């Protein structure tokens, strides 16, 4: 009798493991309060010497539209953050960025997430 109850519970845990406390998906996006100058400086760094892959926000690429500084900054910030977060990188960019638990991907524009 006990086995009939425990076996389904064990199967559920194995098939659908839950995340540990404090473990959740996060993306890094531009803070709506950031100035254009702050966003541009951070994009220049992340897509330049920062080493993020910003090719998706180039013209004729999937994340080019909407062609706004805020949207391009969000993609660049997240590309950098996901690439380097396990090496200690943060989602700060001189207070131009914030984290979100809502996937900012849209249409054919995919924002990376690295567990």
- Taking only the tens place, the pLDDT of each residue in 32-74 is 999 999 999 999 999 999 999 999 999 999 999 999 999 999 9
Give domain status of residue 12, yes or no. Answer: no
Task: Label residue 77 exposed, middle or buried (CB < 10 Å: 0-12, 13-18, 19+).
Answer: buried
12 pLDDT tier (thresholds 50, 70, 90) = very low
pLDDT of residue 5: 56
CB atoms within 10 A of CB 87: 6
Q: pLDDT at position 10, please?
A: 44
Tally of domains in the chain: 1
Chain Cα centroid distance, residue 6: 38
The C-alpha atoms of residue 101 and residue 115 are separated, in whole angstroms, by: 13
Residue 25, number of CB atoms within 10 A of its CB:
13
Indicate if the pLDDT at residue 8 is higher than 50.
yes
In a domain, 73, yes or no: yes
Distance, in Å, from the CA atom of 61 to the CA atom of 75, rounded to the nearest integer, reads 12
Domain that holds residue 53: 20-100
- pLDDT for 23 equals 65
Domain-located, residue 63: yes
* 109 found inside a domain: no
């Amino acid at each position: 009798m006990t086995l009939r109850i425990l076996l389904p519970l064990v199967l559920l845990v194995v098939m659908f493991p839950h995340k540990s406390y404090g473990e959740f998906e996060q993306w890094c996006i531009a803070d709506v309060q950031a100035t254009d100058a702050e966003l541009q400086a951070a994009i220049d760094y992340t897509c330049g010497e920062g080493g993020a892959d910003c090719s998706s926000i180039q013209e004729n690429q999937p994340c080019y539209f909407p062609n706004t500084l805020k949207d391009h900054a969000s993609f660049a910030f997240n590309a950098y953050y996901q690439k380097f977060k396990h090496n200690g990188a943060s989602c700060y960019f001189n207070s131009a960025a914030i984290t979100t638990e809502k996937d900012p991907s849209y249409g054919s524009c995919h924002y990376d997430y690295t567990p």
